A and B are shown apart, each in its own frame.
Chain A
Amino acid sequence: MQANKDSDGGWRTFVWNSEKKEFLGRTGSSWLKIFLFYVIFYGCLAGIFIGTIQALLLTLSNYKPTYQDRVAPPGLSHTPRSEKSEIAFSLSDASSYKKYTDAMTKFLKKYDDDKQTDQMKFEDCGGKCQLMPERFLKCRDTVSSTPWLIVKLNRIVNFSEGGRPPMNNSVEEFLLPKLKPNLIPIFCKNKREEDADKIGEIKFFGLGEGFPLQYYPYYGKLLHPQYLQPLVAIQFNNLTLNEELRIECKVFGENIGYSEKDRYQGRFDVKFNIAS
């Protein structure tokens, strides 16, 4: 007990020692000195840090990042986003799919016709810039009855996606009819064998059933400020309801690669769970 009291008193005098005019064991001038020391010390450090960061920025190009080996090959992303790779809603409950329709509306906004009228900005793509075909509008409205996905190939600066994939075993037979010049084809199918007859018809809308090559390469934000990447809308016409279905979509092309770990590189799979 005695010891406790002592240490208590010690603590109090430590905070403010009126005898020596010490606050937390230091006098005013001592605090000032140590404060100045740290200000200078940290000032120097901060200065040096900022200096090195500036030096770093000087070495960077404005148009193209130094390394692109991590971002390529490009990812394939879709709107609306899945949550934990699942899209689930109930047809009878409008609120359950509202977030999906909202996400699509928001996404398609920048593709609105009126925003593409400025010829100044779209001069080099001629008429082909009409990325927003009328049919797309449908997907906004009919999402409730037949789910839609809008798919885009991720942008990579100066990356030339190839149109014609190497014609070997890796390309499945079913792709052959879809192959067109200057188009990166996209194809979706069931992920699991047993779902084969449950997914029904899948329709692709866009500038051809894939991504037209004339929109690539992308030259970066600075050179291509208003760049809009081509989209493909995928309509699932006849999904079996009340069942979990896994569907995988894949693009095929020369520079397109896939990774075991990254499920969005050149492909994605999504789980539909639509209740009636």
Chain B
Amino acid sequence: DQVLHIVPETLQQVQHLQHLCSTSLLDLWKPLLPEDIWAGHDLHIRVPAPLVQEVKDSLDQHMISYKVLIPDVQELVDQSMPRETSSHRQIPEGYNYTKYNSMEEIYNWMAQIQKSNSELVTQHYLGKTIENRTMYYLQISQPSSNAKKIIWMDCGIHAREWISPAFCQWFVKEILQNYKSDPKIQKFLQNLDLYILPVLNIDGYIYSWEKARLWRKNRSPHMNGTCYGTDLNRNFNSSWGSVGVSYNCSSEIFCGSGPESEPETRAVVQLIEKKKSDILCYLTIHSYGQYILTPYGSTTKPPNNNEELMHVAQEAAAALMGKYGTSYKVGSTSLILYSNSGSSRDWAHMIGIPFSYTFELRDTGTHGFLLPPEQIQPTCEETM
């Protein structure tokens, strides 16, 4: 939108301007009413963006000269809004959750988060990546004498899906920031522990920042270092290697040399196996597509608790849509997406975790993996 400054000179010009204002419903800033437009007096009108060219053309046609007082109204509005100060002691000062953060930033953030929220958060060692980087997860746990069930969430299993780790960071921030003031969160944490793995495929994530933005797999070397990467989401021991995979390293869906061949996979498996009797829900976050996917990918045979799985997912999708109108499709991977085997979601369900879901976040292909940072906040808010 623009604001134009005009000083009409003749009665004809005044009449034309009055006509323009009322027919195009332009926003008169000065004077307030069309009838108060006078020759020789200042006129300020705000013209909505889609009409700017048309209005200017009309002014030109009638030989009415104008100046652009404000070239971009939105910009001014944004600038005049007070910056959201992270006045919360608990959240690292100045950490930006509405941009994509590098792995180095994420490592620092995890350490900081634990330090400033030590009553609730502990950082745990999970394992090492193939390039020997350390994998950490955050445990959010309210101190209590009773044993609690666990909800596990991992992000960033596929390197190029940057909105996914962004969501994990956002999620942690939301929980911690609102814990004191939100009774729902307190109730949640009374009976549940949250285990969050912000970046599963650390090597891949870094590679997508430094070398190839659209990289997907991890960075394990094959064929004497002439080919790299296993698709970690085809590497789990759930009908491994049976469908929707490639046995060729050069493929993006290469399932690895065997189930759990990758250290990243093994690190996750070890921890989840150990705690599986307490894990209620397994969530793995991807992009894009806007889906909530239930098991299985390797077969169309429904899981034993399919009705309940679907019901919960549908409630989630409805709640999500309630926020910004974003629509998510819900269903089993093999039915609504495509067949694949060796996924972490399938594996989690097969070892007995009752609620296991893959989230595919925004969008539906317009930007795909390159989701603009302005969409980080709304995506995370609605998914929350």
Q: Determine if chain A interacts with chain B.
A: no
